[in-house]
């Protein structure tokens, strides 16, 4: 049990508040400068939002690509609570009409949750071990790279990995220090490990290598078996829609594993070694320091296998845990290299500081067992190195300038587009962002299996809106009906077009489709080539109009 809080610990608490407050301010700042999500990227933000609405209506047809169900659950709860304070429209209509309000609240809640967990983690480590330096050092885990702590600008599973992995690290620290309670639920270590790991696995399968860590600390085969069973049960509890859509989920996972391309695409050769090597080189540019920590960890572990060195280690559990972390780091890199995306690195990057912590504790017990000041000095040195490294706060400041420039340019573009009073009927062609929220909603709807559940509300809020999909060279309506151009012109003799796509070939393709009707003309109303955005008006040519 924790000791009763004492007033003299207030200065300690203030120290432990520094890193969580910093994380919160960064999260809020990023949301304030980026503007609407659809201006930056609506993949996967709107997929999770639409699935969250589905779950709020107790429907199990969700976007399950990760599977990401814990985020669906959180979003469903948040939008239900927010809607209590927004009477008038139904929940569905209010979310679809004001998606950015709900996404903004979701982002704030996730950032605050991460900050509170970070404070809790620091406080627990300090109260249980008395080591304030170690507590602050563990809190610093997300700040090894701007790639990690800036993820709070996105609505996706990765931001939730930060507080959950911090909780796992805290449990591991207390376990190897023999500071876990001797009674109550925490006495059953296998249960707590299983629940946390099952929850994280339900967020994203990229967490899979982490499952080996508790196996090194659980003492008996029986406990290890119980841990694995608990993990599986917890996974299916937190990812319960998987049980209701097992066939679809199985085919999705199978396609990802058996194909070398992203999202189950590419050839059926599991790994494209040329792409695999290229991804490893790309990761080295992102996380060069991570590879250094991994190599140092390997060196420390190997040196500690020398008998006279090993005999000096006071707590051999640190060595076992270091080996487990090394394996996770290596397996994670191999898994990510198959289908690389920068956000996939976030869970394993959260182990960087923890690996440093384990190395420091081991080296100190061997070389400086009686010098207490050496440990906090090393922590401080590493914090400063990460803070001023090219991929830390320096990169954050540099990227913020680019973020602000992009956000300002897109916000100005949004005002210009709105000034053109583009209305119904309208055709939208888009990449991963657009000046119109309709395409973000359509994307989120398409990514949800039970997507026609939203069609009536979307038709009511955004009538006569169509979407051009370059893969099939046809247009779609809210009900996912594939429409040829002639069918749209059979209902409307004119419409506006908003085209926002970085691929100029797709623009040329759409213009070619529209140009197939010689009795119609295409007028360019506005263009911004730097942002690849064009507005057209499509109507009958003068010689054919009566």
Are residues 22 and 81 both part of a single domain?
Answer: yes
Residue 495, strand partner residues: 538
Q: Among 397, 428, 457, where does a domain finish?
A: 397
94 and 242 part of one domain: yes
8 belongs to a structural domain: no
Radius of gyration of the chain (CA): 26
Pick the last residue of a domain from 362, 397, 432. Answer: 397
Q: Are 371 and 449 members of one domain? A: no
Euclidean distance between CA atoms 50 and 266, whole angstroms: 28
**What local confidence, expressed as pLDDT, does residue 1 receive?**
45
Dig out the tokens for 258 from the structure. 């058996």
Same domain? 183 vs 314: yes
Distance CA 352, CA 487 (A): 57
Order of strands, edge to edge, in the sheet holding 474-476?
Answer: 482-483, 474-476, 465-469, 426-430, 494-500, 533-540, 520-528
- Specify whether 385 is located in the same domain as 470: no
**461/96 Cα distance (integer angstroms):** 8
Residues 215 and 332 in one domain: yes
Using the 3D structure, point to which of 397, 428, 459 is the last residue of a domain.
397
Contact 16, 80 (CB under 8 A): no
Return the DSSP state at 438: H
pLDDT string in tens for the chain (546-residue length): 455 666 677 889 999 999 999 999 998 888 888 889 998 888 899 999 999 999 999 887 787 777 889 999 999 999 999 999 998 889 999 999 999 999 999 999 999 999 999 999 999 999 999 899 999 999 999 999 888 888 998 999 999 999 999 999 999 999 999 888 877 777 789 999 999 999 999 999 999 999 999 999 998 999 999 999 999 999 999 988 877 777 767 776 766 666 555 655 556 666 767 777 887 877 777 788 899 999 999 999 999 999 988 888 888 899 999 999 999 999 999 888 877 788 899 999 999 999 999 999 999 988 887 777 888 999 999 999 888 887 777 778 888 888 888 888 888 888 888 887 777 789 999 888 888 899 999 999 988 876 678 999 999 999 999 999 887 888 999 998 899 999 999 899 899 999 988 888 898 999 999 988 888 999 999 998 888 899 999 998 876 554
Distance CA 530, CA 542 (A): 32
**Count of Cβ atoms closer than 10 Å to residue 177 Cβ:** 17
Task: Please report whether residue 7 resides in a domain.
Answer: no
Closest CA to 171 of 188, 197, 191, 192: 192
Concatenating the DSSP letter of every residue in 90-126 gives -HHHHHHHSHHHHHHHHHHHHHHHHHHHHHHHHHHHH
Tokens of 287: 């996380």
Which residues contact residue 439 at a Cβ distance below 8 angstroms, ignoring those fewer than 6 apart?
A: 38, 42, 428, 430, 467
- Among 320, 331, 344, which Cα is nearest to 294's? 331
Instruction: Tell whether 234 and 368 lie within a shared domain.
Output: yes
Half-sphere exposure of 542 (CA within 13 A, CB side): 1
486 assigned to some structural domain: yes
One domain for residues 100 and 242:
yes
Under DSSP, is residue 385 helix (H, G, I), strand (E, B) or coil? helix
Give the Cα-Cα-Cα angle 303, 309, 313 (nearest 5 degrees).
110
193 Cβ partners below 8 Å, 6+ apart? 168, 171, 214, 218, 227, 230, 231
| 406 belongs to a structural domain | no
Q: 118 is in which domain, residue-wise?
A: 13-397
Centre a 10 Å sphere on the Cβ of residue 383 and count the other Cβ atoms it contains: 20
> What per-residue confidence (pLDDT) applies to 265?
55
Is there a domain that residue 3 lies in? no
**Domain presence at residue 321:** yes
Does 26 share its domain with 67?
Answer: yes
Residues 316 and 216 in one domain: yes
Distance set, CA 490 to CA 172, 462, 499 (Å): 66, 20, 22
Structure tokens at 351: 């182990």
Q: How far apart are CA 213 and CA 347, in angstroms?
A: 14
Q: Residue 201 — φ and ψ, nearest 5°?
A: -65, -35
Tokens 């939730």 label which residue? 160
Q: What's the rounded Cα separation, in Å, for the pair 31 and 109?
A: 12
C-alpha 101/C-alpha 82 separation (Å) is 9
Distance between CA atoms of residues 531 and 39, nearest Å? 11
Q: Residue 466 falls within a domain, yes or no? A: yes
Residue 50 lies inside a defined structural domain of this protein: yes
Q: Give the N- to C-terminal CA distance of the chain in Å, as an integer.
A: 85
Q: What is the pLDDT of residue 71?
A: 94
358, 429: one domain: no
pLDDT for 3: 56
What does the buried/exposed string (b/e) look like for 264-302 if buried means 16 or more CB atoms within 10 Å of the residue's CB?
A: bebeeeeebeebeeebeeebeeebebbeebbeebeebbe
Q: How far is CA 374 from the centre of its chain?
A: 36
**Residue 522 to residue 515: CA distance in whole angstroms:** 8
Judgement on whether residues 342 and 490 belong to the same structural domain of the protein: no
Q: Indicate the number of domains in the chain.
A: 2
Compute, in degrees rounded to 10, the torsion defined by CA atoms 37, 42, 44, 47. 100
Quick one: DSSP state of residue 500? E
């Amino acid at each position: 049990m924790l000791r009763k809080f004492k007033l003299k610990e207030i200065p300690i608490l203030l120290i432990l508040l520094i890193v969580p407050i910093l994380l919160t301010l960064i999260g809020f700042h990023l949301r304030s400068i980026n503007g609407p999500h659809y201006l930056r990227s609506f993949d996967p933000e709107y997929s999770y939002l639409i699935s969250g609405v589905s779950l709020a209506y107790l429907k199990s047809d969700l976007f399950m690509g990760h599977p990401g169900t814990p985020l669906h659950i959180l979003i469903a709860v948040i939008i239900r609570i927010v809607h209590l304070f927004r009477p008038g429209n139904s929940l569905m209509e209010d979310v679809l009409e004001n998606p950015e309000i709900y996404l903004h609240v979701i982002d704030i809640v996730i950032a605050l949750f991460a900050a509170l967990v970070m404070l809790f983690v620091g406080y627990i480590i300090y109260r249980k071990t008395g080591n304030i330096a170690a507590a602050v050092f563990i809190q610093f885990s997300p700040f090894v790279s701007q790639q990690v702590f800036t993820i709070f600008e996105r609505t996706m599973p990765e931001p939730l990995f930060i507080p959950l992995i911090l909780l796992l690290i805290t449990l591991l620290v207390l376990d190897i220090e023999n500071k876990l309670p001797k009674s109550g639920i925490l006495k059953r270590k296998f249960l707590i490990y299983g629940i946390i790991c099952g929850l994280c696995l339900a967020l994203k399968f990229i967490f899979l290598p982490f499952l080996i860590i508790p196996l090194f600390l659980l003492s008996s085969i029986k406990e290890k078996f119980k841990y694995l069973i608990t993990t599986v049960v917890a996974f299916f509890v937190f990812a319960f829609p998987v049980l209701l859509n097992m066939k679809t989920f199985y085919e999705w996972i199978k396609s990802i594993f058996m194909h070398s391309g992203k999202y189950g695409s590419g050839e059926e050769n599991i790994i494209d070694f040329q792409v695999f090597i290229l991804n490893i080189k790309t990761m080295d540019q992102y996380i060069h320091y991570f590879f250094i920590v991994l190599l140092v960890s390997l060196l420390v572990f190997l040196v500690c296998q020398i008998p006279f060195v090993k005999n000096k280690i006071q707590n051999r559990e640190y060595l076992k845990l270091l080996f487990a972390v090394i394996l996770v780091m290596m397996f994670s890199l191999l898994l990510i290299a198959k289908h690389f995306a920068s956000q996939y690195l976030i869970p394993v990057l959260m182990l960087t500081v923890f690996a440093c912590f384990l190395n420091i504790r081991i080296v100190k017990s061997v070389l400086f067992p009686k010098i207490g000041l050496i440990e906090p000095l090393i922590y401080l040195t590493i914090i400063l190195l990460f803070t001023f490294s090219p991929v830390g706060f320096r990169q954050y400041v540099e990227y913020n300038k680019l973020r602000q420039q992009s956000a300002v340019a897109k916000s100005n573009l949004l005002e210009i587009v709105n000034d053109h009073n583009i209305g119904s009927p309208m055709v939208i062609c888009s990449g991963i962002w657009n000046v119109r929220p309709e395409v973000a909603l359509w994307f989120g709807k398409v990514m949800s299996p039970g997507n026609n559940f939203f069609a009536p509300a979307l038709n009511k809020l955004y009538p006569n809106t169509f979407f051009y999909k370059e893969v099939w060279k046809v247009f779609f309506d809210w009900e996912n009906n594939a429409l040829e151009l002639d069918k749209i012109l059979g209902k409307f003799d004119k419409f506006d077009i908003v085209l926002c796509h970085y691929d100029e070939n797709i623009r040329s393709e759409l213009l070619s489709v529209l140009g197939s009707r010689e009795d119609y003309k295409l007028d360019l109303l506005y263009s911004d080539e730097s942002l690849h955005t064009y507005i057209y008006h499509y109507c009958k040519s003068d010689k054919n109009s009566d």
